[in-house]
Structures are given as structure tokens and as C-alpha cells.
Amino acid sequence: MSATLIDGKARAERLRADVATAVAALKAAHGVQPGLAAVLVGDDPASHVYVANKVRQTAEAGMQSFEHRLPADTSEADLLALVEKLNADETVDGILVQMPLPKHIDSDRIVMAIDPAKDVDGLHPQNAGLIVLGRPGLVPCTPQGCVILAEEAMGDLSGVDALVIGRSILVGKPVALLLQNKNATVTMAHSRTRDLAGLCRKADLVVAAVGRPKMVRGDWLKPGACVIDVGINRVPAPEKGEGKTRLVGDVDFAEAVEVAGSITPVPGGVGPMTIACLLANTAKAAALRRGLPVPAGV
């Protein structure tokens, strides 16, 4: 058996098209052009690539894009002052502070300073609390992307036995809550879990968000299960040449594809959904902040 590939790239493209339609509708009906401010501190090359992609895709969706690049030695006070300025700026609907921040800055303090109505990363405790309550709010982007892809593959998630491996604030925890809000029966696993393979074999849906290359083996999976692989791990790839690397997920794809019913590839699965969900959150925030109905598709 060979699993169906869940094409995150194609799904993200559809979501971005829906966001562009929603943005056009907000403009036409209310004269509102949503705006996303991206803040980048320091010169981490990967973060520069992420932010450049976000800025480009924001503009492509018809939104305003504001970029703030600050030097690595920016003080916490100066970053807080910028966040306050963006909170007060009516043209800014979403504020994204690219993580990780330099070590001398307390990232929790920065996240707490962002107006929850503009917290398009969904990391502020107020938005985290709304997920716990099962109420609408701004949902973290990667977890939202996981749920959209699981629904793409499985349809209604009601009653599905789901296993989420990983309990980070960024991914595992919100994924588990979102799946529960979709009426899945959710088990959360982590580094102290006993018999992870046994739990995995019972699950109709496995979401792996661990950060350990190829940890989930093919024989851990229930035949026909849906597998959402969040992991992004860079490993040596001597077959591509000396010193070369490639990306692999937390799931052993070659093994899993023979057992699963559907599976996300790495890259090209969950990854592309993250920015698309960020754009959707910005359009949503623009509507919610003004008391307007959230346009369809976001």
C-alpha cells in the first residue's frame, strides 16, 4: 500500500487565494486594507528568509506589508517601544515578531506586550486562553495548518482517535486543543510517555511535532492512519555531496508511506501552511478589530 500524499503546497495556495478574495471583499465593502507588520531582530539567516517570504506573500494577497529590521543589539526597551507603536498604529492589523529573539531579550515579555487583537501568531495568553475555552480567536499558524491538512485528508474529525506527539506551547499543545475542539479524542505524548509506539498504533491520526529526525517508524502506525509530520530537521546528505544537508521530518517517510492512508511530505506538507495561516489571521484580525464580519474563507 502507498499512502496518499497530503499536498500542503497546493492547500496553502488555495488558502492564500481565499485570503486574497477576503482582502478584496474587505476593501470593497469597508475600505479596509489589512496590514501586517513583521519585526526582525538580528541577522539569523533562516529568519531573514522566513520574513522575506512573509513580506512577499502579504503583498501578493493584497495586504499592506510593513517591515522592521532591527540590529542584533537592539535593547528590550526599544523593541517594546516599537511593539507599542505598532499596537497604536491603525494601519497595522497584525504584528509578527520573528522568533527566536536574541538572548538578552525576554521573548515572553515581548509576546505579552502585543495587542491580543493584533497577535496574528496566536501566542498571547489571551488567544491561548480562547483556544482552551473553545471560543473564536487568533489561532497559532502551524497548529491551524495541521488541522486544515488533517481535515483535508480525513474530512470531519469528530470521534477520530488522535495522537499528538510533542507538547510545546508553539505546536503540540495548541494542536491537541484544536483537535479536541473538532471533537477528536486526543492523546498527548511527550518525552516521558511510556510505550509511544503502542499509543501510535491505536491512532487514526498522528501529529508528530518532536524535532527528532525519523523518530516515528512505519511499524508504529495503524494501517490507513493519517500522518501529519510537523518536524523540520536538517540532516547530513552525503549522497548530495560533501557537507550537503537535506530536510527530513519526525516521521520515517519511506516506511510510513507504505502503511499510512495519507501523509504530509517534508518539505511541502505543514511548512507552506504556516505563512498561509498567518495571512488568513491578518485578514481575520482586520475584520474582528473593527467589529466587521470575518470574510468567508479565512
Catalytic positions, written as ranges: 54, 98, 121
What are the grid coordinates assigned to 172, written together? 503540540
Residues 73-112 that bind ligand NDP (CB under 6 A): none
| Minimum CB distance to ligand NDP, residue 200 (Å) | 10
- Specify the residue, 32 or 221, whose C-beta has the smaller distance to ligand NDP: 221
Angle between helices 141-154 and 270-289 (to 10 degrees): 110
Of the candidate residues 19, 160, 270, 285, the single one contacting ligand NDP (CB under 6 A)? 270
Distance, in Å, from the CA atom of 66 to the CA atom of 39, rounded to the nearest integer, reads 8
Considering only CA atoms, which of 215, 213, 205 is closest in space to residue 179? 205
Binding of residue 211 to ligand NDP (CB under 6 A): yes
Considering only CA atoms, which of 142, 268, 250 is closest in space to residue 206? 250
Considering only CA atoms, which of 106, 72, 65, 102 is closest in space to residue 86? 65
Residues 219-248 that bind ligand NDP (CB under 6 A): 230-233
DSSP state of 115: -
- Given a contact cutoff of 8 angstroms between Cβ atoms, the answer to whether 270 and 164 are in contact is no
Binding of residue 147 to ligand NDP (CB under 6 A): no
Looking at 79-87, 89-97, 256-264, 266-274, which segment touches ligand NDP (CB under 6 A)? 266-274
Residues 125-144 that bind ligand NDP (CB under 6 A): 142
87: number of Cβ within 10 Å: 15
Binding of residue 174 to ligand NDP (CB under 6 A): no
**Could you give the dihedral angle defined by the CA atoms of residues 184, 217, 212 and 263, in that order, rounded to the nearest 10 degrees?**
-50
Binding of residue 30 to ligand NDP (CB under 6 A): no
Binding of residue 167 to ligand NDP (CB under 6 A): yes
- Specify the residue, 172 or 295, whose C-beta has the smaller distance to ligand NDP: 172
Q: Which residues pair with 236 in a beta bridge?
A: 245
- Specify the residue, 144 or 262, whose C-beta has the smaller distance to ligand NDP: 144
DSSP state of 241: -
55: number of Cβ within 10 Å: 17
Binding of residue 251 to ligand NDP (CB under 6 A): no
Binding of residue 271 to ligand NDP (CB under 6 A): yes
Q: Under DSSP, is residue 19 helix (H, G, I), strand (E, B) or coil?
A: helix
Of the candidate residues 182, 193, 268, 289, the single one contacting ligand NDP (CB under 6 A)? 193
Considering only CA atoms, which of 147, 80, 140 is closest in space to residue 115? 80
Looking at 9-17, 104-112, 186-194, 219-227, which segment touches ligand NDP (CB under 6 A)? 186-194
Binding of residue 276 to ligand NDP (CB under 6 A): no
Of the candidate residues 37, 117, 170, 225, the single one contacting ligand NDP (CB under 6 A)? 170
* Residue length of the chain: 298
Q: What residue ranges bind ligand NDP (CB under 6 A)?
A: 142, 165-168, 170-172, 189-193, 196, 209-212, 230-233, 270-271, 274
